[in-house]
Structure 1
Amino acid sequence: MSRFWSPFVHDLVPYVPGEQPQIANLVKLNTNEHPFGPSPRAIAAMKAAVDDDLRLYPDPASLRLRTVIAEHFDLAGQGGDASWVFVGNGSDEVLAHAFHGLFRHEQPLLFPDISYSFYQVYAGLYDIRHETVPLTAALEIDPADYSRPNGGIIFPNPNAPTGRLLPLQAVERILQANPDSVVLVDEAYIDFGGDSAIALVGRYPNLLVTQTLSKSRALAGLRVGFAIGQPALIEALVRIKDSFNSYPLGRVAQAGAIAAFEDRAHFDAMCEMVIMQRDSLTLKLERLGFEVLPSGANFIFARHPSHAGADLTAALRERAVLVRHFKSPRIRDYLRITIGTPEQHRSLLGALEEILAG
């Protein structure tokens, strides 16, 4: 705290990211990073982009990347093109622009009570009145709970940190009940088993879908995210961007992202591997007595009926295994465990067997 801070900064409650400790031989399963690595073509493209052209500014509109994304999702089939795509410095920046430019202040913004904690931070940052909507007893989103006056709706699908997936028909129910509000579906994890709401953007002008290259394309260190929606919504994001930072993606980031989208074979294979490892780890944890929520993400949410979540987290850390724990009362006994490699899972399970036996 400093006497030079403005009152605005003094009252901010910042987002707390997942821990990135420097511990030797750490089994790191706390930040939902991809265990198997990005496309070799993406790495090659980024290396090739490190040349004398770095003295030049990148394309501020990222037109080629946006065109590749539009082609990847066949937006032409819905009457769209690159004008339906916005890109930014990670999906967090894209979300920030959406909060700033698309959610109204006259009515409260709605989002789940157990969800991505950045939503609370952005609502505070942009002074947006908001209400949290409780998940059901099974920690699911009930579309009926979002049929009330609001200034916008946002939710992750699959939800985080629970991992539960909302079927596309349920997403459409929320859209149909809120034709005058922007509905933002945050799909950071959709590629690990769900149907994307991008399939609906042609029919719903109030729908914005955000995704990231950090998870399924294993490029968390690159910081590339994007949104897809009809041009009127995209133009609002562009206006915010060009009033904030006209060059959010550098040349290297654009080159790597383009190549990652073009390498569909690697993408499909890596998603299948994560799903296979998720299913395997779920079964093994259940054999140890854990209750595991159904997951459509690259992580699982699990609790043990005989052990507090904080105690398990601390005991795992003592054994150089890092998982994520949340202190919120409804979920304080759960562990969020990122899907890792088979070797990482063996270390996790061995540590848990030792803890439970003790």
Structure 2
Amino acid sequence: MSIFWSPVVHALSPYTPGEQPKLDGLIKLNTNENPYPPSPHAVAAIQAELGEDGDRLKLYPEPTGLMLREALADHFGIDSTNVFVGNSSDEVLAHTFIGLLKHDRPLLFPDITYSFYPVYCGLYGIDYRQIALDERFAIRVDDYIEARPGAVIFPNPNAPTGRLLPLTDISRLASALPDSPVVIDEAYIDFGGESAVALIAEHANLLVTQTLSKSRSLAGLRVGFAIGQPHLIDALTRVKDSFNSYPLDRLALVGATAAVRDREWFDQTRRRVAASRDRLSEELESLGFEVLPSAANFLFVRHPQHDAAQLAAALREQRILVRHFKAARIDQFLRITVGTTAQCNALVDALQSLV
């Protein structure tokens, strides 16, 4: 603490990211990174933009991210005016919270979900309520409709559970709350779900956010985007230009654009991850774990006879990192990122010796 802190800083409870250890030789299954490299076209584009002497880095990037917005528009079959890009989906979400989700009535999101949401609410002074997931950790759309909120946000698939809500439910939610913004955070949608971008044209209140960190293996590049009707995109742009007019650097823009345009690499990588996820799920169930249905690149699991924190600690002793949350209702679960075949095999072997 410091006497120089503002009252806002004193009141904050910051987000705690997953551990990024500096030790070599760890099997890192704790932060939902893609185990496979990004598109070679993305790497080549970054190298070409950098050039031999990096001379282009003395120039500011194009402030609207037009090349990336056009690539995303082509990918989804929409117009570039429907696309906003930013420095990670976390920044895009931050702009969304202040630009679209602060209203007289409270913002609603699940009691078990992305733990950055309450942090944004604290930072921006947003009144919120958490809606309980059902006993199988699924979102109940009717709970949100009946509450008549100022706005709604949740991930789909949800995190850390991995459970997917069908588009029919999202459409019903947006239709039932026409005066409330509905934001669907699709960080993991490419591993097993259908994007709500397909619903944008028919719902003026629907905004979809995504990231290039997961399915396109670009967590280190920090690129995210939002898709919605132009009046929603304009709100995010107004916030951006009141905060940082140049959120994406030149290397991020060209690398992300090339990754989006390489559809073959994208499809191949996400299929590999999904296949490994399904195989790992079966293997963990054979060891006695309860595994929640997952459409993401991770599994949420618990063992009825073993404490989750102790399992995580024991795995760490074998140089395998998984994520354990101490929050109510889920303190006996582990979130396990889907790794390569070799990494998943090492995890299963270690668990066999523990359970």
Q: TM-score, normalised by structure 2?
A: 0.98
Q: Distance in 2 between the 1:163 and 1:48 partners?
A: 37
Q: Does 1:50 align with 2:53?
A: no
Report the secondary structure of 2:85's partner residue: strand
Distance 1:53 1:164 in 2: 44
Alignment correspondent of 1:84: 82
Counterpart amino acid of residue 21 in structure 1: P
Contact 2:26 2:321 in 1 (8 A): yes
Whole-angstrom CA distance in 1 between matches of 2:47 and 2:294: 35
CA displacement at 1:149 relative to structure 2? 1.9
| Map 1:42-121 → 2, pairs under 5 A | 42-51=42-51, 52-75=55-78, 81-121=79-119
Deviation by residue 1:54-87 (Cα, 9 ceiling, x = unmatched)? 1110000111110110111001xxxxx1111000
- Identity %, equivalent residues: 60
Counterpart mapping for 1:191-270 below 5 A: 191-270=190-269
Equivalent runs, 1:172-191 vs 2, <5 Å: 172-191=171-190
Find the aligned partners of 1:222 and 1:104 in 2 and give their Cα distance: 29
2:40 aligned residue: 40
CA distance in 1, matches of 2:222, 2:182: 24
Once the two structures are superposed, residues 1-27 of structure 1 have per-residue CA deviations (whole angstroms, 9 ceiling, x without a partner) of 111111211111100000001123101
User: 1:133 maps to which residue?
Assistant: 131
CA deviations 1:122-172 (Å, max 9, x no partner) are 011100000000000010001111112211000000000000000110111
Moved more, 321-330 or 216-225: 321-330
Q: Residue 329 of structure 2: SS of its match in structure 1?
A: helix
For residues 32 and 217 of structure 1, the distance between their equivalents in structure 2, rounded to whole angstroms, comes to 12
In 2, Cα distance between equivalents of 1:141 and 1:150: 16
Distance in structure 2 (CA, Å) of the matches to 1:336 and 1:59: 38
Q: What are the superposed Cα offsets for residues 298-350 of structure 1, whole Å, 9 maximum, x if unpaired?
A: 00001000011111111111111100011112011110000000111121111
Name the SS for the 2:202 alignment partner.
Answer: coil
Q: Deviations over 1:226-252 (max 9, x none)?
A: 000000000000000000000000110
Deviation per residue, 1:78-112 (Å, 9 max, x gap) = xxx11110000000000000000101331000000
Displacement, 1:279?
0.6
1:289 aligned partner: 288
Distance, in Å, in 1 between the alignment partners of 2:225 and 2:304 is 39
TM-score, normalising length: structure 1: 0.97
> What is the correspondence of 1:4-15 to structure 2 with a 5 Å cutoff?
4-15=4-15
Counterparts of 2:48 and 2:64 in 1: how far apart (Å)? 21
Aligned to 2:164: 165
SS at match of 2:295: coil
Paired with 2:200 and 2:103, the residues of 1 have a C-alpha distance of 24
One-letter amino acid of the counterpart of residue 91, structure 1? S
Aligned mates of 1:69, 1:257 — CA distance in 2: 10
Question: Which one-letter code corresponds to 1:184 in the other structure?
Answer: V
- What SS does the aligned partner of 1:330 have? coil
**Distance across 1 between alignment mates of 2:259 and 2:119:** 30
Distance in 2 between residues matched to 1:268 and 1:201, nearest whole Å: 23
Any idea what SS the aligned residue of 2:235 has? helix
What is the identity, as a one-letter code, of the residue corresponding to 1:71? Answer: D
Is the Cα contact below 8 Å between 2:103 and 2:151 reproduced in 1? no
Runs of 4 or more above 2 Å deviation:
none
* Per-residue Cα deviation, 1:212-237 (whole angstroms, up to 9, x for no partner): 00000000000000000000000000
Equivalent in the alignment of 2:330:
331
User: Aligned partners of 1:22, 1:104: CA distance in 2, in Å?
Assistant: 39
CA distance in 2, matches of 1:24, 1:123: 37
CA distance in 2, matches of 1:262, 1:218: 14
Aligned length: 351
CA-CA distance at 1:354 after TM superposition? 1.4
Distance in 2 between residues matched to 1:344 and 1:64, nearest whole Å: 36
User: Which SS does the other structure have where 1:101 is aligned?
Assistant: helix
